[in-house]
């Protein structure tokens, strides 16, 4: 448990969650994907999801 306490992980959340013991999470913060047709701070990103993923 000490290897994950007070750490920031910059990786796929599914990989990270597999390493964290059950019943030990208070919060998960996920930064949304950009460039998928959503308006962020007045900027419209219009690339389609499938093209963005590729």
Q: What average pLDDT does the structure give for the chain?
A: 75
pLDDT tens for 31-45 read 666 556 666 677 666
pLDDT of amino acid 44:
66
> How much is the pTM?
0.39
Residue whose tokens read 């308006």: 39
Give the pairing type, strands 43-44 and 39-40. antiparallel
Is 4 strand, coil or helix? Answer: coil
Interacting residues of 16 by C-beta distance below 8 A, sequence separation 6+? 9
d(CA 49, CA 38): 10
Interacting residues of 48 by C-beta distance below 8 A, sequence separation 6+? 36, 37
Domain ranges of the chain: 13-53
pLDDT of amino acid 35:
59
Q: Is the pLDDT of residue 9 over 70?
A: yes
Is 14 strand, coil or helix? Answer: helix
């Amino acid at each position: 448990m000490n290897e994950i306490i007070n750490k920031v992980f910059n990786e796929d959340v599914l990989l990270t969650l597999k390493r964290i013991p059950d019943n030990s999470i208070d919060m998960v913060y996920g930064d949304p994907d950009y460039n998928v047709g959503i308006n962020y701070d007045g900027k419209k990103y219009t690339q389609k999801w499938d093209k963005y993923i590729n």
